[in-house]
Amino acid sequence: MFCAEGIRCHIRGFTFRVDTGTAAPVACKSPRYGPHEAQIITQMTENLLDNGLVEPALGPWASQVVLAAKAKQENVPWYEYTWRLCVSYRMLNQVPRAFAYLIKRCDDTVAEIPPEAQFFITANMDAVYWEIETEEASRDRLAFFVPNGKLQWTVMPMGALNAHAVWPYSKRNGWQQQSKLVSSLRLPSDCRQHPTLGSVRARPTGVLSDRPRRIAKLPSPPPPPEAQGVPVNHAALRICRH
């Protein structure tokens, strides 16, 4: 989940499907990208290819890439802009069957926080849609033109119909499944939950943790009478995988 090169694992038990039924394929005209635009698109898609987020496409479906400049770059020359690679699925989104799922308002979600809560954690999640894999049969629907050919997503892209509803659905249902898994685990007697280190276990040589880079910040506990077994890691929403 925290891999610098990109997402390596997907949410278990969920895939993104583009249900077009018997509709005929839709494709935009072959776009003509300018030299600067083509260079940026090529660089960004090569990074996606290296991370396995896209793959070559040969099907009849196709959409167009649109570059969107990130905000707050008014004082930056245009040739130094930071860009977002977006795929315009306006034509495709008219075809699939819609998936409706309740997405709560932010104020309603905040109102559900219990009054006794004292600590809050917020996270700015980057490219969260890519956590969900696109099923094999739907990948050709998500194809898009690039300067040197055509690619298709192996993960759920932003902008595709139903993606906005599928992601919160997977989170809510995935959390319920993982909560059952974690509640069924039984930790050894020398294993304790630490607020900083996560699942830790004392051994004669020190402490083992699923967050080893933080271990140096804490003093070593006294060695236990005996040590048996292997380190224990918890799984919660795929953050740690067995």
In the chain, the DSSP E strands lie at 15-16, 54-56, 64-69, 83-88, 133-134, 144-146, 149-153, 191-194, 198-203, 206-209
pLDDT (0 to 100) of residue 6 = 53
pLDDT (0 to 100) of residue 14 = 83
Q: Structural domains in the chain?
A: 15-101+125-183 (3.10.10.10), 188-242 (no CATH)
Backbone angles phi, psi at 71, to 5 degrees: -70, 165
Over the chain (242 residues), what is each successive 10-residue block's mean pLDDT? Answer: 59 87 94 92 94 94 93 88 93 92 84 84 76 93 96 94 88 60 45 43 44 54 47 34 32
Which residues make Cβ contacts (< 8 Å) with residue 132, sequence separation at least 6? 10, 11, 14, 15, 16, 155, 156, 166, 167, 170
pLDDT (0 to 100) of residue 138 = 95
Two tokens, residue 38: 């083509």
Q: Please spell the DSSP secondary structure of 105-154, one letter per residue.
A: -HHHHHHTS-TT---------SSGGGGSEEPGGGGGGG-EEETTEEEEES
